[in-house]
Amino acid sequence: EVQLVESGGGLVQPGGSLRLSCAASGFTVSSNYMSWVRQAPGKGLEWVSVIYSGGSTYYADSVKGRFTISRHNSKNTLYLQMNSLRAEDTAVYYCARVIAVAGTANYFDYWGQGTLVTVSS
């Protein structure tokens, strides 16, 4: 059974850093495309970042240069390192497995339960 469990959220001051983790089971993270999607309180979904099976990484303009997606193959875990955090980064962060077709990322088939990040002084 595929499972994704996020952790690492919490309260952080503006300008601070936080690292989110997403532990996967039932499949191999490094063989799949994986993504982070966030949802600000009462708002819609926003794509944040993706890492391809080959290791290439891509980011939404809103987080480019501040966030870094990575994975630890032996731990079968996905990460999101978030630096220079702003109030507008406050959201529930979901990790999701991405299904690709002919090498093109297509849709998100499994999602974790999310972890809340609050950026406030």
Q: Which residues bind another protein (CB under 8 A)?
A: 35, 37, 44-47, 50, 56, 58, 60-61, 94, 99, 101, 104-109, 111-114
Q: Nearer to another protein by C-beta: 78 or 112?
A: 112
Shortest Å distance, C-beta 94 to another protein: 6
Q: What are phi and psi of 29, to 5 degrees?
A: -55, -45
Q: Nearer to another protein by C-beta: 82 or 112?
A: 112
DSSP 70-86: EEETTTTEEEEEE-S--
Number of H helices and number of E strands within the chain? 0, 11
Q: Nearer to another protein by C-beta: 35 or 77?
A: 35
Shortest Å distance, C-beta 67 to another protein: 14
Of the chain, the end-to-end C-alpha distance in Å amounts to 40
Residue 37: name the closest of 67, 10, 14, 15 by CA: 67
Q: Nearer to another protein by C-beta: 17 or 27?
A: 27
Shortest Å distance, C-beta 81 to another protein: 19
